[in-house]
Amino acid sequence: MAPPLSRRSLLQAAALAASTPAVSLTTTGRAAATVQEATAVAAAPSAWTVQPFALEDVALRPGLFAEKRRLMLDHARGYDVNRLLQVFRANAGLPTGGAVAPGGWEGLDGEANGNLRGHYTGHFLTMLAQAYRGTKERVFADRIGTMVGALTEVRAALRRDPAVLSVPGKFGTAADQVRGSYQYVDLPADVLGGASAITLSVWVRPTHDANWTRVFDFGDDTTRYLYLAARNQAGVPRFAITTSGAGGEQGLDGTAALPLNQWSHLAVTIAGGTGALYVNGTAVARNTAMSLTPAALGALKNNWLGRSNYSADPVFAGAYEEFNVFSRALTAAEITELQSRRAADASTGRGDLASYAFDETAGGTFTDVSGRNLTATLRRTWGGPSHPGFLAAYPETQFIDLESRTTSDYTKVWAPYYTAHKILRGLLDAYGATDDDRALDLASGMCDWMHSRLSKLPESTLQRMWGIFSSGEFGGIVEAVCDLHTITGKAEHLALAQLFDLDRLIDACAANTDILDGLHANQHIPIFTGYVRLYDETGEERYLTSAKNFWDMVVPHRMYGIGGTSTQEFWKARDVIAGTISATTAETCCAYNMLKLSRTLFFHEQDPKYMDYYERALYNQVLGSKQDKPDAEKPLVTYFIGLTPGHVRDYTPKQGTTCCEGTGMESATKYQDSVYFAKADGSALYVNLYSPSTLTWAEKGVTVTQTTGFPEEQGSTLAFGGGRASFTLRLRVPSWATAGFRVTVNGRAVSGTPKPGNYFEVSRTWRAGDTVRIAMPFRTRVEKALDDPSLQTLFHGPVNLVARDAATEYLKVGLYRDAGLSGDLSHSLTPVPGEPLHFTLDGTEWAPFFEGTEDPTHAYFRRSEPKVVFGGRDSGVANPAKADGTTLLDEVWAGAPFRNKGALVARVRSTVDAWVAAGLLSRADGDKVVSTAGTASYRP
């Protein structure tokens, strides 16, 4: 009897049996054919009851979003993409054209040895694709073509054995070993010939100053060896020979560091118990007690140029020319002679044990011209060639290591599948924007490679891998693979997407069990967008249910007022907000991915809460994460946004090129992606955001031009163009719009009662010239931290207002003294003339969070209402508070809005009676409070 199939095997079998048509994932208003022979056109997934428009169908008009985007487009045009490609080309052993790798996470000297390099190139490709789709500027398409072409060359090179990279040398040509290529020269075992006297002579041009890089190293392991390091721990050349490990080394140390990017001649001689080290013809070290020679070492297994027998040592980066091994000690005069001519032209002649001129300009071997025919071979430390489809800016070793790893160590393995996702996503977006078949081929190849690797692993191994913090992080790869599957129709691609199931997380969230405390936030948010897409592809309900429940665990239970989440990248306990505020709150990537998840869930269920959240996070954290100044070299985007008092935003974090700068580039080139959605059957148009823009709805033959200064303007106007079309216009009524939401069509009021936190419908046959006007007056309100009601943040309509003050303690702020009957707190603020959305309060300036300045800000403040004051009239009574910090005034104004003054006084009386009964307020003071409320005057 055959054993029962595991759930994963059943899923794979079902995927392999399901032969879906080859279609292209497109969006409403855009049709694209695939590269398959039998082309097909598809809209968004059939499970989506609402569909987005393509970026090219929604044009941003002048306003806040267009200005922020302009700054990022300047960066997209100005940054040298060859710098991004440098790490890929280096990894493949290709010429880098002198390009300097980006700093930070994209360079070998960045955090964790650059173990995330390559991710930023994916972000950049996505930015370029979005920029091209949104503007149709040819420069963006051209840059995409450059990058895709280079990555195509890189993948091909990774599939081959390493090839010589010929560069100008000291006398003729030289062989370059690009840093990051992990290449070295492997010499035959008999290269030292068991000599009892020897000279090793070489020209090198180092390009990096890492300690312990080997010019050459001949040995068995770390016990018996002979090496020359370009730099020891003191930064100077060192020669050593030993038969008993590091403790038994007989050595020669130089006196000065070798200059970078310049040719230096190094020579070592050993004979008669004396060793000498020469640098550029000068003896810099001599040891008369050097009893060891190659003869004492015997036959050696590893004979390398550029690689160390100590595996942790870096590989030599730089060029080689003229490596000669002589079976005698050259004289000082002979070594001096080698400074000005090749050995073949000098009195020494070529080395009799080995001689490599490095004149080769192709191939992967170097000829020995000593007469001994000891041909050397160019190799990579990580082996190779890579497996078919592999594409990365580092070797496959991280992926291999992860499969046996049980603990996190990002200096060894830093989220390789996360990086793969970014590259894959960038390639898919590049294909979607330019129809470049090379990008699709690269993307498909990557997924073929991942499937061939992951499908061979036991399910228990996969579950362990995906549960490891950081190392097992895979970002939004499931979403990207599902999107690819809709293009290729390959069953293996759908099967691959399901190999990233993290069952513990899915099952807990599907059961609505909150297990987020202690989890890395951005490791998990994008997972759920992918699971929603898996629901689209498979119909398996647990994926969608888990994602919806997960969203509810974050919003509002782990959400700061600006829409951000996480502290120091992690989640804490549910409903702990004040207790988690720090300088490292609200990682920008988290906001980016929560927006993606929110809009994807909205495609399935049009709950306005998703778009309420979208507006909150977009208008506050996302806009505020971008600095308001141009820079061709940096995107100027925050990593964390600290919410501590007096925090100053850092727009070039962690040396640059972080994940958040990458998602920041993407966010700033797709601001229009959720302004409008369409009902899948074309029966309705959703207006989700009030943003100046023009929608071209090709299927309906209409255009909708939205004119607004929102959020400076408290409303918007929609003008229709094109032909006649019948559909329902669904206008989002923000949950904060409690002061009214009024709609007119062609100047006539539309009947109905718009409800905050819902959509208001207007159904008709629309004609060119129709105009819809929306008015939504703003109110000023506070939102309280869930775990500390006295810690609050201030909103004016959708806009979070921050105090600009250098103090590092929470400001104490009172707001009730002039509150209106509506509960609006704006009367306590004084508008700043000529500066919309800027106010002063007790001498402190308050400004929109979305302004990307370097001013110290206070997003949260300590609410302080020491006296009971109504309409500016002081009762003389101290404002009492409950144990949780809720004050008498808090409870009174929680009943707002009030129909009239009488309703307010009634609320005051009932609240006072309750507090007197609870022993929190004396009757005499209570009577004063009620009397003051009755005699005060109030604004609406």
pLDDT at 251 exceeding the cut of 80: yes
pLDDT at 871 exceeding the cut of 80: yes
Reported as a single tens digit per residue, the pLDDT across 515-570 is: 999 999 999 999 999 999 999 999 999 999 999 999 999 999 999 999 999 999 99
pLDDT at 40 exceeding the cut of 50: no
Given this model, what pLDDT does residue 12 score? 38
- Model confidence at 384, in pLDDT bands (50, 70, 90)? confident
What is the span of the domain harbouring residue 918?
A: 865-940
Q: Which of 365, 380, 395 is the last residue before a domain boundary?
A: 380
Q: pLDDT averaged over the chain?
A: 94
DSSP H helices in 555-630: 588-602, 608-617, 623-624
DSSP 63: S
Closest CA to 338 of 271, 241, 269, 237: 269
pLDDT at 4 exceeding the cut of 60: no
Question: Region 407-419: what's the mean pLDDT?
Answer: 96
Given this model, what pLDDT does residue 3 score? 34
Structural domain includes residue 346: yes
Structural domain includes residue 345: yes
Lowest mean pLDDT among 36-50, 157-171, 213-227: 36-50
CATH number of the domain residue 364 falls in: 2.60.120.200
Structural domain includes residue 191: yes
Reported as a single tens digit per residue, the pLDDT across 841-869 is: 999 999 999 999 999 999 999 999 999 99
Question: Region 358-368: what's the mean pLDDT?
Answer: 97
Spatial distance between the Cα atoms of 377 and 383, rounded to a whole number of angstroms: 13
Structural domain includes residue 870: yes
Cβ 79 vs Cβ 633: under 8 Å = yes
In the chain, what's the furthest Cα-to-Cα distance?
113
Given this model, what pLDDT does residue 496 score? 98
Cβ 423 vs Cβ 449: under 8 Å = no
Structural domain includes residue 354: yes
Identity of the residue numbered 703: T
Structural domain includes residue 517: no
% of the chain with per-residue pLDDT over 90: 93
Spatial distance between the Cα atoms of 542 and 532, rounded to a whole number of angstroms: 9
Closest CA to 446 of 412, 411, 496, 403: 496
Q: Which of 340, 359, 380 is the last residue before a domain boundary?
A: 380
Reported as a single tens digit per residue, the pLDDT across 716-741 is: 999 999 999 999 999 999 999 999 99
- Model confidence at 31, in pLDDT bands (50, 70, 90)? very low
Given this model, what pLDDT does residue 43 score? 55
Tell me the DSSP string of 870-896: ETTEEEEEE--B-TTS-BHHHHHHTT-
Reported as a single tens digit per residue, the pLDDT across 151-166 is: 999 999 999 999 999 9
Given this model, what pLDDT does residue 15 score? 36
Lowest mean pLDDT among 722-736, 760-774, 871-885: 871-885
Tokens 């990096």, located at residue: 208
Question: Region 409-431: what's the mean pLDDT?
Answer: 97
Reported as a single tens digit per residue, the pLDDT across 310-346 is: 999 999 999 999 999 999 999 999 999 999 999 999 9
Q: Which of 380, 407, 428 is the last residue before a domain boundary?
A: 380
Structural domain includes residue 225: yes
Tokens 């009851």, located at residue: 49
Count up the domains in the chain and report the number: 2
Cβ 418 vs Cβ 119: under 8 Å = yes
pLDDT at 9 exceeding the cut of 80: no
Cβ 61 vs Cβ 692: under 8 Å = yes
What does the buried/exposed string (b/e) look like for 559-585 if buried means 16 or more CB atoms within 10 Å of the residue's CB? bbbbbbbbbebbbbeeebbbebbeebb
Structural domain includes residue 172: yes
Reported as a single tens digit per residue, the pLDDT across 641-674 is: 999 999 999 999 988 999 999 999 999 999 999 9
Burial of 233 (0-12, 13-18, 19+ CB in 10 A): exposed
Reported as a single tens digit per residue, the pLDDT across 788-827 is: 999 999 999 999 999 999 999 999 999 999 999 999 999 9
Given this model, what pLDDT does residue 655 score? 85
- Model confidence at 25, in pLDDT bands (50, 70, 90)? very low
Output the six-digit token pair for 365: 């071997």
pLDDT at 5 exceeding the cut of 80: no
